[in-house]
A and B are shown apart, each in its own frame.
Chain A
Amino acid sequence: MVKNPYIPTAVEIISIRPESEVDYTYRLAIDLDVDNGQFVEVSIPKVGECPISVSDFGNDYIDLTIRHVGKVTNQIANLEVGDKLGIRGPYGNGFPIEEYQGKDLVIAAGGTGLAPVKSIINHFYRNPEEINSLTLLLGFRNPANILFADEIAKWEEADHIDVILTVDEGDEEWAGNVGLVTGFVEQINFTDLANKEVVIVGPPIMMKFTSLEFMKHDIKEEQIWVSFERKMSCGIGKCGHCKMDDTYICVEGPVFNYTKAKNLVD
Chain B
Amino acid sequence: MSYAVSIEKMDKVLKELKKKYRVYAPIRFEKRGRYSDTDLIRYAEIDSVKDVVYNEKSDFSPKEVIHPITQTLFHFTEYEYRESQIDDKEILIFAHPCDINGIKRLDTIFLENGNNEDVYYKRLRDKVKFVLMECQEDWDTCFCISMGSNQTDDYSLAIKFGEDQLSVEVKDNEFEGFFASEEEIDFTYKFVTANQEEVNLPKIDDKEMLKKVYDLKMWEDYNARCKDCGACTSACVTCSCFTTSDVIYSENGRVGERRRVWASCQHEDFTEMAGGHSFRNTPADRMRFRTLHKVYDYKERFGEEHMCVGCGRCTDRCNQLISFSKTINKLTEEVNRLQKEVN
Residues of A within 8 A of B (CB): 2, 4-8, 10, 43, 45-50, 67, 69-73, 84, 86, 229-231, 233-234, 236-241, 243, 245-248, 250-251, 263, 265-266
In the assembled complex, which residues on chain B have CB atoms less than 8 Å from the CB atom of A86?
81
Binds A, one of B158-166, B190-198, B242-250: B242-250
In the assembled complex, which residues on chain A have CB atoms less than 8 Å from the CB atom of B265?
240
B114 contacts A250, CB within 8 Å?
yes
In the assembled complex, which residues on chain B have CB atoms less than 8 Å from the CB atom of A241?
241, 243, 263, 270-271
CA distance A237 to B110 in the complex (A): 8
In the assembled complex, which residues on chain A have CB atoms less than 8 Å from the CB atom of B77?
45
**Which of under 10, 10 to 19, 20 to 34, or 35 or more describes the interface residues of B?**
35 or more
Of all chain B residues, the one with the shortest Cβ separation from A68 is B274
> What are 7 A-B contacts defined by CB distance under 8 Å?
A4-B83, A10-B80, A45-B254, A230-B279, A239-B263, A241-B263, A246-B298
CA distance A69 to B276 in the complex (A): 9
In the assembled complex, which residues on chain A have CB atoms less than 8 Å from the CB atom of B244?
48-49, 233-234, 239
Interface of A is mostly: loop
A236 contacts B273, CB within 8 Å?
no
The answer to whether B89 has its CB under 8 Å from any CB of chain A is: no
CA distance A84 to B76 in the complex (A): 13
Of all chain B residues, the one with the shortest Cβ separation from A247 is B301
A2, A10, A233, A246: the one contacting B260 at CB < 8 Å is A233
A46 contacts B240, CB within 8 Å?
no
CA distance A46 to B246 in the complex (A): 5
The answer to whether B222 has its CB under 8 Å from any CB of chain A is: no
A6 contacts B275, CB within 8 Å?
no
B81, B114, B254: the one contacting A7 at CB < 8 Å is B81
The answer to whether B297 has its CB under 8 Å from any CB of chain A is: yes
Of all chain B residues, the one with the shortest Cβ separation from A251 is B114
Nearest CB in chain A: distance from B107 CB, A? 12
The answer to whether B78 has its CB under 8 Å from any CB of chain A is: yes
Most chain B beta carbons < 10 A, residue from A50, A86, A236, A241: A241
